[in-house]
Amino acid sequence: MADKFRVALSGDFKKPDGSPTFPDFDLEPLKSAPGVEMAFLPAANPIDSRHLADFDALILLVPRFGRESVPPGGRLSVVARFGVGYDNVDVDACNEAGIAVVITPDGVRRPVAVSILTLILALTGKLRIKDRLTRAGPAGFNQRAEHMGSGLVGLTLGSLGIGNIGAEMFRLAKPLDMKFIAHDPYADRAVAIDLGVELTSLEEVFRRSDILTVNCPLTQETRHLVNGERLLLMKPNAYLINTARGPIVDQKALTEALTRRRIAGAGLDVFETEPPAENDPLLKLDNVVLTPHALCWTDQCFAGNGAADVKAVIDIQQGRVPRGVVNRKVLDDPRFQARLKAYAARARA
């Protein structure tokens, strides 16, 4: 076994001028960890397997880690994604090679939940319209009584999914005195009970929510879970908020519902195609608040993702199983277990 635990960062963590892409990602704990060495990979998409031959860990931003990226020699133990999406990682190829795939739920939980609250408050407070009125001078100002917002006390906040982010949204919304409901076929009931969230059927969450938020992953089962038929179940004064993944919502059907004022409005951080086309009719609507899949991008979010990835790779270097492993069956793979044992022995030496 080599004498150092070597960590690679995908080349896009550096800008072309060599400065860090995300200055809030603190690499100091990695640089100063005893027995650890780190290096940036040359820019490549997908990741080039030849660049990874001498590394134990990869921290990955945007490039794809495909089957062709798996380096020969069996040294690589972990691919740690910066964030919780891992559609750019070929998990099957990682399973076959005994490589753990790690994500950073602890980094995004609070920032995305805060984004959802931001959209709830912006929509119900008519923030966008009132900003426009004020900028229009006295004529706009004098129209303010025509744009009454909606108070939240007693309204029903609904969620499709009560996992990492959905639960945190309810946790943060507690003082708003709303009713909480969620549909989640795989819900942890204890979490729902603890947060005072009533679990409902899919149809009910559409019918009863005044604000319906999307907090489930994009899977075959959830693609277009929010479709034209279900949008028709919603109250005319209800809002839809999607910060999860664009294709969970049939965007054409949503645009139609918004145009016909079948629902009051929508807050969207994600889109079926990103970025949306310049002539997308959704961009013309005045009852939507739109953000470029980045409402949660804050100094704290990026620092949190970075810290979680650094912790995960140092856990492995110390022979410990990190948090956030997506492909848990790798933990039983004899090759992964042997590497972990060898790391632990070296860390103790």
| Residues 305 and 104: beta-carbon distance below 8 Å | yes
- Residue in 45, 95, 143, 164 binding ligand NAD, rule: CB under 6 A: 164
**Residue type for 229, please?**
E
Q: Which of 64, 132, 224, 293 is catalytic?
A: 293
Q: Is 245 marked active-site? A: yes
Q: Which of 81, 110, 245, 339 is catalytic?
A: 245
Q: Per CB under 6 A, does 327 bind ligand NAD?
A: no
**b/e sequence 118-132, b meaning 16+ C-beta within 10 Å:** bbbebbbebebbbee
Q: Is 81 marked active-site? A: no
- Residue in 165, 238, 263, 264 binding ligand NAD, rule: CB under 6 A: 165
- Residue in 163, 267, 304, 306 binding ligand NAD, rule: CB under 6 A: 163
The residue number with the shortest CB distance to ligand NAD is 163
Q: Per CB under 6 A, does 184 bind ligand NAD?
A: yes
**Pick 143 or 200: Cβ nearer ligand NAD:** 200
- Residue in 51, 245, 311, 339 binding ligand NAD, rule: CB under 6 A: 245
Q: Segment contacting ligand NAD (CB under 6 A): 33-41, 116-124, 128-136, 241-249? A: 241-249
Q: Per CB under 6 A, does 266 bind ligand NAD?
A: no
Q: Segment contacting ligand NAD (CB under 6 A): 135-143, 148-156, 162-170, 313-321? A: 162-170
Q: Per CB under 6 A, does 161 bind ligand NAD?
A: yes
Q: Per CB under 6 A, does 213 bind ligand NAD?
A: no
Looking at residues 64 to 103 of the shown chain, list those that interact with ligand NAD (rule: CB under 6 A). Answer: 84-85
Q: Per CB under 6 A, does 183 bind ligand NAD?
A: yes
**Pick 85 or 125: Cβ nearer ligand NAD:** 85
Q: Is 147 marked active-site? A: no
Looking at residues 102 to 121 of the shown chain, list those that interact with ligand NAD (rule: CB under 6 A). Answer: 105, 108, 112
Lay out the site mask for ligand NAD across 117-156 (x = CB under 6 A, - = otherwise): ----------------------------------------
For residue 120, give every residue at least 6 positions away whose Cβ sits within 8 Å of its Cβ, in sequence order, or none. 152, 157, 173, 211, 213, 239, 241, 267
**Pick 30 or 84: Cβ nearer ligand NAD:** 84
Q: For binding to ligand NAD (CB under 6 A), which residues are involved?
A: 84-85, 105, 108, 112, 160-166, 183-187, 215-218, 221-222, 243-245, 269-270, 293, 296
Instruction: Give catalytic residues, as residue numbers.
Output: 245, 274, 293
